[in-house]
Amino acid sequence: MKIKGVPYRTIWVNDDGWSVGIIDQTTLPHAFVTTSLKTWQEAAHAIRAMIVRGAPLIGATGAYGLALAMREDSGDAMLDEAYAALLETRPTAINLKWALDRVRNALHNLPGVERAAVAYRVAAEICEDDVATCSAIGDHGLKIIRDLHEKTGSKRPVNILTHCNAGWLATVDWGTAIAPIYKAHDAGIPVHVWVDETRPRNQGASLTAWELNSHGVPHTVIVDNAGGHLMQHGQVDMCIVGTDRTTRQGDVCNKIGTYLKALAARDNDVPFYVALPHSTIDWTIRDGVREIPIEERAATEVTVMQGRTASGEVVPVTITPEGSRAANYGFDVTPARLVSGLVTERGLCDATEAGLTGLYPEFS
């Protein structure tokens, strides 16, 4: 995607041939800043501190983290240490383990002198796969938006509600849930996006809105609790969100608050879609509510907000009374019964084991 006409991905190898460039997402939307990762510890910090975030991008960063580790020391002890440390940075998104396993498996039985080059190659392959996958998700999701536009008589924009950020900032390029919106906009189909702010880290207000604004897609930022009201009054034609882990039976784990949107959508007959790449499916589990680990993050993400003052200074502000405790659950699970369909790079399917294995027979 482009920023002021310049094409960017969210992660890349710098001109020196080994350090890894990323966009510092903690500075958005007030400043666009890039930085470099030069050690695997810096890659781990970038994931943990959400300098990079979004399940596919977390996986890509983890893969390059192992490459950086192999550049430092290609021994088995370093491989095991870096793998374990990177894996524990974010427990919910399965893409991280998927990418780390893919790199580690490629390095087994290789002589040390070859490991760094192979790790960089596999990390690059993961990135290229993600770009192609997300573009295909966009193509399949575009069909849904086009059908909705035709059902409205093509007389008005298609109103789409999304939650958190599942755009190109969450992936290597294109995005998952936002990819169909980009494809529709670029195809000339009028769309309007309701952007949930997504407390406590405001990925919707800070990242999704910044993306859509940069691409020229009409959108409106709303507070998290407004979605149900809009659905009651016929102002939402469809919901589409991403996911950090999807079970083989179609339960989806996404940013906290997604479950509530799915309940409101079901009550108001609004289709609720989930867009995901193959790397987000955890074929080892069935019951998302009971089996997916839910990350609990620092309470300060709830009690402190960051914003820009009238003078232009970006400052943190405490919004809760001194002494009040805060809980910060990062994700919730939406049961498959509330999902209208899963949009993957292989097409659209029901949120069921039969639906998923129909698209991915190799896991049946």
To the query of whether residue 80 is one of the catalytic residues in this protein, the response is: no
Distance CA 232, CA 270 (A): 9
Burial code (b: 16+ CB inside 10 Å, e: under 16) for 193-215 equals: bbbbbbbbbbbbbbbbbbbbebb
**Whether 158 contacts 238, CB under 8 Å:** yes
| 94-107 and 112-151 helices, crossing angle to 10° | 150
How far lies 292's CA from each of 35, 92, 179, 253, in Å? 32, 7, 26, 8
Q: Are 296 and 330 in contact (CB under 8 A)?
A: yes
Which of 129, 244, 251, 332 does the annotation list as catalytic?
Answer: 244
> Is the distance from CB of 268 to CB of 304 less than 8 angstroms?
no
Q: List CB contacts of 362: < 8 A, sequence separation 6 or more.
A: none
- The 10 Å Cβ neighbour count of residue 286 is 15
Which sequence positions are flagged as catalytic? 244
